Amino acid sequence: MTPTLEFEKPLIELEDKLNKLKEFSLPHDSSDLHYGISLLEEKIVQARQNLFQNLQPIEIIQIARHPARPYALNYIEHFCRKFLELHGDRRYSDDHAIIGGFALFNNTKVMIIATNKGRGLKENMANNFGCAHPEGYRKALRLMKLAEKANCPIITLVDTPGAYPGIGAEERHIGEAIACNLRDMFRLSVPIISVIIGEGGSGGALGLSIGNRVLILENAYYSVITPEGCAAILWRNSEAVPEAAKALKLTSKDLLKLKIVDEIVPEPIGGAHRNYDEAARFLEEALIKNLNALNKLSPEELKEQRYQRFRCLGAFIEEKPVQQQQDQTAGKDK
């Protein structure tokens, strides 16, 4: 059974009433019952659309973290053939929080690299809840350079609350590992498409997201810090988490408006966990479209486009106050 989120409960109650009405109608062939069922179905469809078209940022975060949401391996299984997973960073160990390898996507050889969560406590502990150690990022960079040698595009699927912040990660230089990924991804001469499929947390997500195209699923989020962390630092109050989520501008619509991402990939109504096949189809179509466009660029054009894309982030023009402009104009007239 799919877990129910708090804001979904009114909708679930309507769906339960509909199911009970359908069960009652089976032995009673009544036109009034059939009419009532059709009215209730229409009401549920409308309520579902209204609910999921007007979600608050904190509610979108809850969907992005939904325990039944498709993970990277679910998408890889849906639209890739002959996925050959490669292991190890050739320095320390194999980090299961990041997976990667060659695959056939749309009859094209690609390198897929993804953060990897798990179902249930045992899998999540094995994958460190999707929080990679330094060796995970070094493995990812090794595979990216291998993809460049093989002249094949790179697709990264990101779903992580952030890089692992523990003592072991600090001892093995997590900051340096992520920084090397940022530097060297700009130098790669093959197309890179990065997709935020769930959580996009801080440098842990950015370490795999230096792409020529950065896409985001409709109910995913991408942020410099979690709302919980932001609320703890700025408000020192856990009740401020919804306010922090709103202030961070971390939803797909906000990110597209700010030009942090290039495209929003739609999801089935209610979230990707409602229909894995449809969610995978939407993502596959977006990847094919963007990959076809990037394949037309030369290696130098790819590097320049990637550089300019990130160079423009955060650019702004500071305008002088109206009164100051008027004073300056008056001074010139004198």
What's the mean per-residue pLDDT of the chain? Answer: 88
What pLDDT does residue 43 have?
A: 77
Q: Please spell the DSSP secondary structure of 45-89, one letter per residue.
A: HHHHHHHHHS--HHHHHHHHT-TTS--HHHHHHHHEEEEEE----
Pairing of strands 154-160, 108-115: parallel
The pLDDT of residue 325: 60
Residue 84 covered by a domain: yes
Confidence of residue 111 (pLDDT cuts 50, 70, 90): very high
With 0-12 CB in 10 A as exposed, 13-18 as middle and 19+ as buried, what is 197?
buried
CATH number of the domain where residue 249 is located: 3.90.226.10
Lowest pLDDT segment from 19-28, 81-90, 323-332: 323-332
Q: Same domain for 272 and 226?
A: yes
Ramachandran quadrant class, 177 (left: phi over 0; alpha: psi -120 to 50; beta: rest): alpha
> Distance between CA 284 and CA 289 in Å, rounded?
9
**Reported confidence tier of residue 30, pLDDT bands at 50, 70, 90:** low
Mean pLDDT of 138-151: 96
Domain presence at residue 330: no
Residue 87 lies in a domain: yes
Q: Are residues 184 and 35 in the same domain?
A: no
Q: What is the count of structural domains for the chain?
A: 2
Regarding whether 16 and 71 lie in a shared domain, the answer is no
Same domain, 45 and 118: no
- Decide which of 39, 54, 69 is a domain's last residue: 54
- Tallying the residues shown for the chain, one arrives at 334
Is residue 147 situated within a structural domain?
yes
Residues 157 and 203 in one domain: yes
Q: Are residues 11 and 148 in the same domain?
A: no
Sign of CA dihedral 327, 329, 332, 334: negative
Are 194 and 213 contacting, i.e. CB atoms less than 8 angstroms apart?
yes
Q: Are residues 173 and 199 in the same domain?
A: yes
Residue 322 lies in a domain: no
Instruction: Look at residue 328 and tell me if it is in a domain.
Output: no
Among the listed residues 244, 269, 252, the one whose alpha carbon sits nearest the alpha carbon of residue 197: 252
Six-digit token pair at 242? 């919804």
A 10 A CB-CB count for 160 gives 28
SS3 83: strand
Q: What pTM was computed for the model? A: 0.86
Q: State the residue range of the domain holding 294.
A: 61-311
- Residues 204 and 274 occupy one common structural domain: yes
For residue 317, the model assigns a pLDDT of: 72
Q: What is the pLDDT of residues 11-28, one digit of tens each?
A: 777 777 777 767 766 565
Of 53-67, 92-106, 214-228, 318-332, which gets the smallest average pLDDT? 318-332
pLDDT at 42 over 80: no
Digit-coded pLDDT (tens) for 240-287: 999 999 999 999 999 999 999 999 999 998 889 989 999 999 999 999
Specify if 331 maps to a domain: no
The reply to whether 21 and 167 lie within a common domain is no
Mode of pairing for the β-strands spanning 192-201 and 154-160 = parallel
Judgement on whether residues 155 and 34 belong to the same structural domain of the protein: no
Do 199 and 120 reside in the same domain of the chain? yes
Residue 326 belongs to some domain of the structure: no
Q: What was the pLDDT predicted at 332? A: 58
Q: Which two tokens stand for residue 254?
A: 């906000």
Query: Torsion angle, CA of 53/54/57/62, rounded to 10 degrees?
Result: -60
Report the chain's terminal Cα–Cα distance, integer Å: 77
CB atoms near residue 274 (< 10 Å): 18
The last residue of a domain, from among 54, 70, 92: 54
Q: Domain check: are 135 and 236 in the same one?
A: yes
pLDDT number for residue 10: 77
